[in-house]
Amino acid sequence: MTEHLSKTFPEVGGILHLDHINFQVSDHDLATIFFIGGLGLTRDPFRRADETNMGVNVGLQQFHLPRRGATPPFPGLVGLIVPDLDIIRLRLTRLNKLQKFKDTPYKARFENNAANIVSPFGFRMRLHSSKSMPFLRPLGIGYIEIPVPSGVLEHIVKFYREVFHSITQIEKRNGSRTASVNVGPFQKLFFVEKKLASYELYNFHISFHITHYNTARDIIRERGALMGTGEGEVFFCDKIFNPENGDHIFSLTNEVRSVYHGDYMRPLINRWPIIQEPFSDQAEVMLDLERELGFMPGGKLS
């Protein structure tokens, strides 16, 4: 019985919850069209709701999309778990036909239980049906792939294991050597060896909550990687470093939060299931889906 449970419920480690991904966008109207109108996600009505920033709810996780001008797109990949790929496919198809993504890098290719999408902002996403992989909820951010140069994977797993008490390993992923880092239940960071001209991540950062906040902050301060004073229940670490001597390994900003932070497991409003709406454009999508499937989909988000 114990063996069965350990396989079903793997240990989480010292990082309890992946909270959000943050990257800059130049246009909140386009972000609304893609994330809200296309993917069916929900703008957080309580925080980051003014014209300078935008919080997009994805189950219990978020995208933070500050509007501060365009930067080159994030060179990695974001993996989303979604309840219904068919609805997303039809919504994106409709928006594309209306030329909402004209003159952008947008692309989409749908498979049986997944979809590969290049967003209008140029970063890549892979959507997975909630029935196709382990996850606690039918909607959320399951993983983030970050490209790194060869020769740093062992240092990366040491950093996350010793500083944040995460469960880590080096494995093969889609044919590439990859450092796997637990950042919550069934949530991962994948650092993937990939040859690029530049590994600059600009203003991209990730945020997560940890168990041993004060200890980690002290280590990061001692190694010269703390951004600002580190007061309160959140701090930023501006690099991945060798825990033994502070040597720089890879430039990635980690936003680290304690469990006392006000956003820890804050209930987020999500609109799933996306049922027929009283607007002709959304009704058109739902009718297309009903014709294709022979029934109107629905169901509760649990």
DSSP state of 113: S
Note the pLDDT of residue 2: 47
pLDDT of residue 14: 97
Q: What is the set of domains in the chain, with CATH numbers? A: 2-292 (3.10.180.10)
CA-CA distance, 26 to 39, in Å (whole number)? 19
C-alpha to C-alpha distance for 177 and 174, rounded to whole angstroms: 9
Decide: residue 297, CB within 10 A, 0-12 exposed, 13-18 middle, 19+ buried.
Answer: middle
- The per-residue pLDDT string of the chain (302 residues; one tens digit each, 9 = 90 and over) reads 445 555 667 889 999 999 999 999 989 999 999 999 999 999 999 888 878 899 999 999 999 999 887 778 899 999 999 999 999 999 999 999 999 999 999 999 999 999 999 999 999 999 999 989 999 999 999 999 999 999 999 999 999 999 999 999 999 999 999 999 999 999 999 999 999 999 999 889 999 999 999 999 999 999 999 998 888 999 999 999 999 999 999 999 999 999 999 999 999 999 888 765 545 666 676 677 677 766 655 544 43
Task: Give the HSE-up count for residue 266: Cα atoms under 13 Å, Cβ half-sphere.
Answer: 20
- For residue 153, how many C-alpha atoms fall within 13 Å in the half-sphere facing its CB? 20
Q: Please give the pLDDT value at position 300.
A: 47
Rounded to whole angstroms, the Cα distance separating 219 from 217 reads 5
The gap from C-alpha 73 to its chain's centroid, in whole angstroms, comes to 14
Helix, strand or coil for residue 251? coil
> Residue 228's pLDDT is what?
86
Model-level pTM? Answer: 0.89
- Integer Cα distance of 124 and 119 in angstroms: 6
The two three-digit tokens of residue 275, written as one number? 């049922």
| Cis peptide bond prior to 73, omega within 30° of 0 | no
Max intra-chain CA distance, the chain: 63
Using CA atoms, how far residue 106 sits from 39, 96, 100, 254, in Å, is 13, 9, 10, 28
Burial of 232 (0-12, 13-18, 19+ CB in 10 A): exposed
**Would you state the structure tokens that stand for residue 51, as one six-digit string?**
């014209």
pLDDT at 282: 66
What pLDDT does 129 receive? 96
CB 243 within 8 A of CB 162: yes
